[in-house]
Amino acid sequence: MTRYVGLIPAAGIGARFGAACPKQYVKLAGKTVLEHTVSRLTKISVIDLLLIVVAEQDDYIDSIYPAAALPAHVHILRCGGATRAQTVRNGIAQAQQQFGLQDNDWLLVHDAARCCVSADSVQRLLAATHNHAVGGLLALPVADTLKQADTAQHVCCTVNRAGLWQAQTPQMFRAGILARALAQADLEAITDESSAVEMLGLAPLLVSGDVCNFKLTSAQDAMLATYFLQQETGE
C-alpha cells in the first residue's frame, strides 16, 4: 500500500535570521517554530510517517522533544547535511533503511521554517497530485513587478512576471523519483526538490498555496509569523 511520508528538513543554522539559535528553535506564539510546523503536519491524517531531519550535532531537539513526547509516527533523524538538498537526500536514504520507504511512497518535503502552513493548502496539494505522474508543489503566482538588479543594485531590466510562481513547500514526489533526482543533481546548487525533478525532464504540478505559508528567513519575518500563528490558536 502506498504511504504518505512527511520529511521536514530542520538542519539549517538560520544565518539570515541572526538569532542566538537556529531559527527553527526560535519561540513564536509560545512554541518553537519547529513545534508549530510539526503540529501542523501531524494534523494531516494521511501522513502516517513524519520524519524530522536535524543536524547530527543538534543541541536543541532533545529538550523540545524528550524521547516520549513525540506521536508514535513521528521520528527524529540526526542526518542533516551541509545544504538543504543534502539534508533531504540523507533523510530519504535513512528512511529507506530504517522505515522501509518504498519508491512508490509519496514524500512530502516541508521546510521547518514554514510554520504557518495551513492544513487546507496541504489537502489541496494532496488532492491535485495523488494521481499525478510526477508530483507537485505549493506555490504562489508572482504578484509584484520583478526587477533584475545589476552589481550596483540598480535596475538593469524588468522581468516579465507572466507565468512566474514563487515556490513554497510541501513539495510532493514519489520517493523513487525524488531519490533518483537528488542522486543526479548538484546538491550545492539546487534550492528545492522540484528543480532536481525538473532536471530529469519532468514537469511538477504547481498548486496554489497561501500567503501565510511564507518561509521564516530574516528576523523581520517573526512578527508576521507570530500574527498568523496567533490567528490559528485564537490568542
Ligand X SMILES: Nc1ccn([C@@H]2O[C@H](COP(=O)(O)OP(=O)(O)OP(=O)(O)O)[C@@H](O)[C@H]2O)c(=O)n1
Write out the three cell numbers for 159.
522581468
Residue 37 or 156: the one with the smaller Cβ distance to ligand X is 37
Under rule CB under 6 A, which residues in 55-94 are in contact with ligand X?
Answer: 80-84, 87
How far apart are the two ends of the chain, measured CA to CA in Å?
40
3-state secondary structure of 40: helix
State the nearest-atom distance from the C-beta of 16 to ligand LQXTBERG, in Å: 8
User: Phi, psi at residue 7, to the nearest 5°?
Assistant: -135, 120
Q: Which residues contact 175 (CB under 8 A, 6 or more apart)?
A: 5, 92, 95, 96, 101, 102, 103, 104, 105, 106, 107
Per CB under 6 A, the segment of 105-113, 133-141, 204-212, 226-234 that binds ligand X is 105-113
Nearer to ligand LQXTBERG by C-beta: 65 or 214? 214
By beta-carbon proximity to ligand X, the closer residue of 73 and 215 is 215
CB of 105 or CB of 111, closer to ligand LQXTBERG: 111
Nearer to ligand X, 15 or 143 (CB): 15
Q: For ligand X, which stretch binds (CB under 6 A), given 11-19, 58-66, 95-103, 132-140? A: 11-19
Sign of CA dihedral 124, 90, 111, 158: negative
Residues contacting residue 23 through CB under 8 Å, at least 6 positions apart: 12, 14, 17, 33, 113, 216
| Among positions 39, 104, 184, 191, the unique one binding ligand LQXTBERG when judged by CB under 6 A | 191
The set of cell numbers assigned to 41 is 503536519
**Strand, coil or helix: what is 145?**
coil
- Give the one residue of 5, 7, 10, 196 binding ligand X; rule: CB under 6 A: 10
Residues of this chain that interact with ligand LQXTBERG (CB under 6 A) are 84, 111, 167-169, 191-192, 215
Residues of this chain that interact with ligand X (CB under 6 A) are 9-17, 22-24, 80-84, 87, 111-113, 215, 217
